[in-house]
Amino acid sequence: ENGLDGWLRYAPLPSADSYHDGIPSKIVALNDTKISPVYTAGQELQQGISGIFGKELDVQYDDCTSFSSIVVGTVEEYSNGGGETDDIPELEADGFYLSVDGDSVKILGQNERGALYGAFEYLSLLAQGNTSEFSYASNPSAPIRWINQWDNLVSGGTHGSVERGYGGPSIFYKDGYIKEDQTRAAQYARLLASIGVNAVVVNNVNANASFLTEANMDGLKRIADVFRPYGVQLGLSLFFASPKDLGGLDTFDPLDESVVEWWHDVTDKLYRRIPDMAGYLVKANSEGQPGPFTYNRTLADAANLFAKTVKPYGGVCMFRAFVYDHTTLNQTLDWKADRANAAVEFFKELDGQFMDNVVVQIKYGPIDFQVREPVSPLFANLLETNTAIELQITQEYLGQQAHVVYLPPLWKTILDFDLRVEGQPSLTREIVSGARFKRPLGGYAGVANVGTNTTWLGSHLAMSNLYAYGRLAWDPTHSSERLVQDWTRLTFGLDSSVVDTITQLSLESWPAYENYTGNLGIQTLTDILFGHYGPNPASQDGNPWGQWTRADNDSIGMDRTVWNGTGFAGQYPAEVAAMYEDIETTPDDLLLWFHHVPYTQRLKSGKTVIQHFYDAHYAGSATAQTFVSLWESLKGKIDDQRYEEQLFRLKYQAGHSLVWRDAVNGFYHSLSGIADEKGRVGNYSWRIEAENMTLEGYEPYSVHPPSMASETR
Ligand code: BDP
């Protein structure tokens, strides 16, 4: 087992024979066109039932009323074929109705894609041993359930071919070309369809104009063609200055007529090749990317330009709210400078100016995918604009797939947060679904960054995050626990000790990681200017890319209050703003996000901030040690290949958590000069330093950043 099939393994069910009689004797797919998701559903059902029950069923393409069959198609196809549809509840786009009644199974979608989703759901239940009778309808929480891939056409550069990708090179591109063979793209679409994802943006938000050459547009068509049978649409990130860079115009002003015409022309060319293209994704005026500010135009002018070009085709323009000016942010010169303020400052005044097929895509927190952030206040400031939440499945700041960090509990702190807009219940998930402000569009964008590694993300356990992302976008009320249990049964089998162990390990993983990296809202104290991976608390301040801890000899934390700080707390609706403004009502886990306090400040637990730091880093890394033995208890209960590969990573994580613990504790210990009450920090007499050993076959190497080197801790 190398992980390639992810959770779609269709492993034989223990005692499969006993179910044989209850299984229908054939599959009826109501569409025989090969590119139709209904056709795909027929094939998938055949494959799944063969794998799970060892029973080979024929797929037929007519007669939807015959006995002992699994019928899959749209409600309309079913009704046209003489099927009875009176009992079927009203379905929304992409929704489905699933009914198991003896040996008659009906899987009916509101559209083709919905039928495929229903087939995957049915197979998922069978694979988990659920052979009971039921009938229900299921509708997605939101229409936008997209994946973003940060793939570059050309490999190399500082970030490799997939920016922030830890699963190997791009599955789509090689050496500057769009691959002829898109088998992996098809396999990816299959995995994504099974969790309800309906589009993939196939290139990096730090985009490149060369995607828009004729040859590359043909290449994009190849990808879209293999996505289509799975109901997955293709989206494209745009480089804002393309009209100039590629088109040879002397401007990229979004209101200039030649520019507008250029983008219309490009869009027409793309849709001629890919008639169902999902739309565009745009990062502008941020981190060096060009944008409308060059011409004193607004971000809404920019978004609407693209929205207009795709509108006749039913396309969408996802416009990123991750806009900040890294050239002017200087905390040394300006105490009130705060990158967290940027999104609301740029976008609030534009509310109501975006076309109805623009969706503003907002990272979950105001900074950048940190281990703990408050929800982005922008969700509460755009009442007349469609919004989507951007989550990161690839673990950029969160251990980069070398650490197990199961993310749904983190995502839920955001999705379930009540922003109290105008004093009314306003859960983030109700805002992004479009329900709260009655918006026509909205939803989810997950940055996945899979690669050619057979595990997709680079490690087996990381795949639970991709699985849970899709399931949550479909229904954000699912519990984190249930999702990891489902995923484990599908991925590793039904043995309850396997399910319980992986569930426990997963649920403990984010709190542990937060504890050994950065707690109390100080965020992930990674090295900030390089890979965003190992510990480097010193790198957080004094540069515009950092999270800013403002740590000195006596105190730590970023004062974001209105009365004395950067004013960020005031971007929330009144009730939430009041909570964060006051140190007493700010939850401890965000204390240092909102307040600058002495190291000796007492927390609600009674501990001082610094002692909490010390203790949490010890506790988190101690938990990481237990992951190894938890995993070892699974030996023989799962296949050897995945067991060994994951064990290797968990041992590494256990070790690296100690590096984190000692680096962060050591740093604040020397900065504050305050001793650890338990005498652990700074006392490393038990340690055997590498430089005190006689090494053979090794050469000295200067470690970068230096704080990663053992002697400095
Ligand atoms: C940061 C990443 C960077 C991305 C940027 C973005 O480090 O690689 O380009 O976000 O989201 O997290 O645009």
Q: Looking at residue 363, which CATH number applies to its domain?
A: 3.20.20.80
- Nearest atom in ligand 1 to 289's CA: 13
In a domain, 399, yes or no: yes
From 398, 464, 461, 511, select the one nearest 649 (Cα to Cα): 461
Q: Calculate how far, in angstroms, residue 172's C-alpha sits from the geometric centre of ligand 1.
A: 20
pLDDT beyond 70 at 709: no
User: Quick one: average pLDDT of 28-42?
Assistant: 96
Q: Which of 94, 253, 396, 514 is catalytic?
A: 396
CATH of the domain at 102: 3.30.379.10
Could you tell me the maximum CA-CA distance found in the chain, to the nearest angstrom?
A: 82
In a domain, 405, yes or no: yes
Q: Indicate whether 232 and 355 sit together in one domain.
A: yes
Q: Residue 173: helix, strand or coil by DSSP?
A: strand
Domain count across the chain: 3
pLDDT beyond 90 at 539: no
> What is the rounded distance in angstroms from the CA atom of residue 647 to the CA atom of residue 233?
36
From 709, 613, 705, 622, select the one nearest 665 (Cα to Cα): 613
pLDDT beyond 70 at 712: no
In a domain, 332, yes or no: yes
User: Quick one: average pLDDT of 123-135?
Assistant: 94
Find out whether 52 and 11 touch, Cβ atoms under 8 Å: yes
Q: What are phi and psi of 63, to 5 degrees?
A: 55, 70
> What is the rounded distance in angstroms from the CA atom of residue 398 to the CA atom of residue 509?
11
Q: Indicate whether 351 and 224 sit together in one domain.
A: yes
Q: Calculate how far, in angstroms, residue 458's C-alpha sits from the geometric centre of ligand 1.
A: 19
Question: Which domain-ending residue is among 138, 173, 188?
Answer: 138
Q: How much of the chain, in percent, has pLDDT values that exceed 70?
A: 98
Q: Indicate whether 294 and 360 sit together in one domain.
A: yes
HSE on the CB side for 84, CA within 13 Å? 5
* Helix H or strand E encompassing 510: helix 496-517
| pLDDT confidence of residue 700 | 76
Q: Residue 169: how many CB atoms within 10 A of its CB? A: 18
CATH of the domain at 673: 3.90.1330.10
Q: Indicate whether 340 and 377 sit together in one domain.
A: yes
Q: Indicate whether 60 and 201 sit together in one domain.
A: no
In a domain, 3, yes or no: no
Structure tokens at 228: 């289509």
Structure tokens at 158: 């500082």
Q: How does pLDDT run across 11-24, given as a tens digit for each residue?
A: 999 877 777 677 89
> What is the rounded distance in angstroms from the CA atom of residue 242 to the CA atom of residue 254?
11
Q: Residue 557: helix, strand or coil by DSSP?
A: coil
> What is the rounded distance in angstroms from the CA atom of residue 360 to the CA atom of residue 347?
9
- Nearest atom in ligand 1 to 163's CA: 8
In a domain, 516, yes or no: yes
Q: What is the dihedral of CA 266, 267, 270, 275, to 10 degrees?
A: -160
Q: Indicate whether 297 and 431 sit together in one domain.
A: yes
pLDDT beyond 50 at 60: yes
Q: Which of 94, 368, 508, 615 is catalytic?
A: 368
In a domain, 229, yes or no: yes
Q: How much of the chain, in percent, has pLDDT values that exceed 90?
A: 86
Q: How does pLDDT run across 205-220, given as a tens digit for each residue?
A: 999 999 999 999 999 9
pLDDT beyond 80 at 531: yes
Q: What is the dihedral of CA 18, 19, 20, 24, to 10 degrees?
A: 170
86 flagged as catalytic: no
Ligand 1 atom 1: the closest Cα is on which residue?
A: 368
Mutate which of 205, 285, 364 to test ligand 1's pocket (most atoms within 8 Å of Cβ)? 205
Chain-centre distance for alpha carbon 416: 16
Question: Which domain-ending residue is among 138, 167, 191?
Answer: 138
ipTM of the complex: 0.98
DSSP state, residue 11: P
> What is the rounded distance in angstroms from the CA atom of residue 207 to the CA atom of residue 282?
9
| pLDDT confidence of residue 674 | 98
> What is the rounded distance in angstroms from the CA atom of residue 516 to the CA atom of residue 524?
9
In a domain, 211, yes or no: yes
> What is the rounded distance in angstroms from the CA atom of residue 176 to the CA atom of residue 533?
27
| pLDDT confidence of residue 17 | 72
At residue 705 the predicted structure's pLDDT band, cuts being 50, 70 and 90, is low
At residue 688 the predicted structure's pLDDT band, cuts being 50, 70 and 90, is confident
Q: Indicate whether 184 and 126 sit together in one domain.
A: no
Q: Calculate how far, in angstroms, residue 397's C-alpha sits from the geometric centre of ligand 1.
A: 11
Write down the mean pLDDT value for the chain: 94
Mutate which of 148, 159, 164 to test ligand 1's pocket (most atoms within 8 Å of Cβ)? 164
At residue 309 the predicted structure's pLDDT band, cuts being 50, 70 and 90, is very high
| pLDDT confidence of residue 707 | 58
pLDDT beyond 50 at 362: yes
| pLDDT confidence of residue 713 | 43
Q: 271 or 698: whose pLDDT is higher?
A: 271
Q: Indicate whether 96 and 243 sit together in one domain.
A: no
Q: How does pLDDT run across 482-498, given as a tens digit for each residue?
A: 999 999 999 999 999 99
Q: Calculate how far, in angstroms, residue 461's C-alpha sits from the geometric centre of ligand 1.
A: 23
368 flagged as catalytic: yes
Instruction: Of 331-335, 397-401, 458-462, 575-579, give the lowest mean pLDDT range.
Output: 331-335
Q: Residue 139: how many CB atoms within 10 A of its CB? A: 17
Alpha helices for 548-608 (secondary structure H): 574-581, 591-594
Q: Indicate whether 119 and 155 sit together in one domain.
A: no
Q: Indicate whether 615 and 687 sit together in one domain.
A: yes
Question: Which domain-ending residue is among 91, 121, 138?
Answer: 138
Instruction: Of 60-74, 166-180, 426-440, give the lowest mean pLDDT range.
Output: 60-74
At residue 706 the predicted structure's pLDDT band, cuts being 50, 70 and 90, is low
Find out whether 70 and 24 touch, Cβ atoms under 8 Å: yes
552 flagged as catalytic: no
> What is the rounded distance in angstroms from the CA atom of residue 444 to the CA atom of residue 361?
8
Q: Which of 287, 301, 356, 416 is catalytic?
A: 287
> What is the rounded distance in angstroms from the CA atom of residue 682 to the CA atom of residue 698?
28
Mutate which of 289, 396, 398, 449 to test ligand 1's pocket (most atoms within 8 Å of Cβ)? 396
- Quickly list DSSP for 61-129: -S-TT-SSEEEEEEHHHHHHTT---TTPPP--TT-EEEEEETTEEEEEESSHHHHHHHHHHHHHHHHTT
Find out whether 274 and 238 touch, Cβ atoms under 8 Å: no
Structural domain containing residue 127: 16-138
Q: Indicate whether 435 and 542 sit together in one domain.
A: no
Instruction: Determine the length of the chain.
Output: 713
| pLDDT confidence of residue 156 | 58
Q: Calculate how far, in angstroms, residue 531's C-alpha sits from the geometric centre of ligand 1.
A: 11
| pLDDT confidence of residue 19 | 72
pLDDT beyond 80 at 63: no
| pLDDT confidence of residue 329 | 78
- Quickly list DSSP for 352-408: T-S-TTEEEEEESSSSSS-SS-PPPGGGGT-SSSEEEEEEE-S-TTTTTTTS----H
Q: Is the dihedral of CA 657, 660, 661, 662 positive or negative?
A: positive
> What is the rounded distance in angstroms from the CA atom of residue 132 to the CA atom of residue 314?
40
> What is the rounded distance in angstroms from the CA atom of residue 266 to the CA atom of residue 270?
6
pLDDT beyond 60 at 284: yes
User: Quick one: average pLDDT of 355-366?
Assistant: 98
Structure tokens at 355: 């076309």
In a domain, 473, yes or no: yes
Pocket of ligand 1 (CB under 6 A): 163-164, 205-206, 283, 322, 368-369, 396
> What is the rounded distance in angstroms from the CA atom of residue 176 to the CA atom of residue 316?
27
Q: Calculate how far, in angstroms, residue 206's C-alpha sits from the geometric centre of ligand 1.
A: 8
Q: Indicate whether 197 and 340 sit together in one domain.
A: yes
Cα first-last separation, the chain: 40
- Nearest atom in ligand 1 to 532's CA: 7
